Amino acid sequence: MREDLLKKYNVPVPRYTSYPPANYFGNTFSEEDYREAIDLSNQSKPEHLSFYFHIPFCRHLCHYCGCNSYPMAKQEIIEQYTAALHQEIEMVIPRLAPGRKIAQIHFGGGTPTILPPAELQRLVEHLLTRFEMIPEAEIAIECHPGYLTEETWMALHKAGFNRLSLGIQDFNREVLKTVNRRPSLMPEEEIVSLLHTLGIRVNMDFLYGLPRQTEQSFAASIERAIRMSPDRLVTFSYAHVPWVNKRQLILEKAGLPAGEEKSRMYETARRLLCEAGYQPVGLDHFVRKEDELYTALQNGQLHRNFQGYCTRRTTGQVYAFGVTGISQLSTAYAQNTKDIDIYIEQMKNGRFATIKGYSLNRQEQITREVIETLMCNYTIYWNDLAERLDIPVADLKKETAYEKGRLQEFADDGLIEYDDAHIRMTPEGTLFVRNVAASLDRLMLHSDKSFSKPV
Ligand SMILES: C[S@@+](CC[C@H](N)C(=O)[O-])C[C@H]1O[C@@H](n2cnc3c(N)ncnc32)[C@H](O)[C@@H]1O
Ligand code: SF4
């Protein structure tokens, strides 16, 4: 990486995991606003439905965890929480147009598999009382292999799940012990082979930058994963934010690897995965060549929501259930309270538990499409996008902060190539895709928010 480029572009810019970024969500967004946004979602695209369930509980908390996870609650609370999820479904689905179809159902956490598979199935079936699914709709769940027996893996298959994300993080026992994570109950090779035999797609999550990890030890874990042939593999960079999660301070005491060692872990993992035939999607996802995410990337049809990457086929507006869940609708984002007691109480009273959100005006809705297209696909073809959004190209550009002089500067620095019809990130430029996206974002012209740096 050229030093001068790093100096110029390694400045705070939004990560654009959503547009507008989550630090724009405000607490004036009310239950009533959420209700209105659900109603409006029937009139706009995408028409497909995507449902997210957040199950926040974990048997043991991993010291590194940055997810919305809570210590295991009493059985009674878990039952009340599950009942509340059903109540929330009952408040949302009568508002959705009956002809719409389900493209995706995702269970995340926390540890969603603390609910028995039959209980998870009941939640899915509740949705199916009203909607059909598209062919090969994705029913996915995040799994902690430390607690799952062969019987449970089989039961998840019987419950209808067709994609499981295994939270591996690392195979190295020393690393897992240091971060307070229980290793897999069954050998991972057996799990993957069982799931593949059952026709279930397998994702694996890895985490680099943890204490006791080295470039070599992490490479050994990735090589072992490659031998198992998961369908997708994600290498998350450990986000150290002890001011949000104090438990992470324990990892500082155990000794976090230096920044350079951490980058080498990623570089080596990436090289090994690419040599084994995996294709990078975004910075941290690796998929097989035949994966629909890779095809979508090649066709400029890749999308992303809070649950991860998806294709145009599986893209839906997201309706989230449970604490901290974020609904991503055509005109708004709405996030539920973090407080489990308040959530249960609100549902009992037939009220939503919205704590904050954001309503997007037309200009922001258009900018969201532009930024998402560039962030996921590293390319914008203005004509294609204008056709999809049903507006003239000139108007589309005007709605954003498009400015030729600014683009020329990126081009002179070798980050993009562009003409009137398209913008494309160069291989060297992809690291700074956030900077180019920010240059198209009118909100960034007068922003008072703080953001992280790209590198
Ligand atoms: C909700 S968690 C996984 C579900 C399940 N509870 C498990 O642990 O297997 C989703 C993923 O987020 C990643 N993750 C958790 N904390 C992180 C952090 N501080 N920085 C980066 N990634 C993190 C982990 O790789 C984890 O598998
Ligand atoms: S990584 Fe998974 S199991 Fe560990 S605390 Fe976070 S959500 Fe819970």
Is residue 455 scored above 70 in pLDDT?
no
**What is the pTM for the complete model shown?**
0.95
**The two three-digit tokens of residue 67, written as one number:** 């997810």
Q: What is the pLDDT of residues 215-233, one digit of tens each?
A: 999 999 999 999 999 999 9
Q: Rounded CA gap, 159 and 119, in Å?
A: 9
**What backbone torsions phi and psi does residue 403 show, to the nearest 5 degrees?**
-150, 120
**What backbone torsions phi and psi does residue 386 show, to the nearest 5 degrees?**
-65, -40
Q: What is the pLDDT of residues 68-106, one digit of tens each?
A: 899 988 999 999 999 999 999 999 999 999 999 999 999
Is residue 120 scored above 90 in pLDDT?
yes
Is residue 313 scored above 90 in pLDDT?
no
Atom of ligand 2 nearest to the CA of 146: 3
Choosing from 53, 69, 107, 184 the residue with most ligand 2 atoms within 8 A of its CB, the one to mutate for a pocket test is 69
**The two three-digit tokens of residue 455, written as one number:** 């590198």
Atom of ligand 1 nearest to the CA of 64: 19
Mean pLDDT confidence for 252-274: 93
Q: What is the pLDDT of residues 391-446, one digit of tens each?
A: 999 999 999 999 999 999 999 999 999 999 999 999 889 889 999 999 999 998 88
- Cβ-in-10-Å burial (0-12, 13-18, 19+) of 325 comes to buried
Choosing from 111, 147, 181 the residue with most ligand 2 atoms within 8 A of its CB, the one to mutate for a pocket test is 111
Residue-level pLDDT at 308? 87
Ligand number with the minimum distance to the CA of 308: 1
Residue-level pLDDT at 1? 62
Residue-level pLDDT at 45? 87
Range of weakest confidence among 5-14, 111-120, 221-230, 275-284: 5-14
Residue-level pLDDT at 93? 97
Q: What is the pLDDT of residues 323-380, one digit of tens each?
A: 999 999 999 999 999 999 999 999 999 999 999 999 999 999 999 999 999 999 999 9
Name the β-bridge partners of 163: 140, 201
* Ligand 1 center–CA 67 separation, angstroms: 6
Residue-level pLDDT at 103? 96
3-state secondary structure of 168: strand
Residue-level pLDDT at 336? 98
Atom of ligand 1 nearest to the CA of 146: 9
Q: Rounded CA gap, 141 and 160, in Å?
A: 11
**The two three-digit tokens of residue 320, written as one number:** 């989230």
Ligand number with the minimum distance to the CA of 180: 2
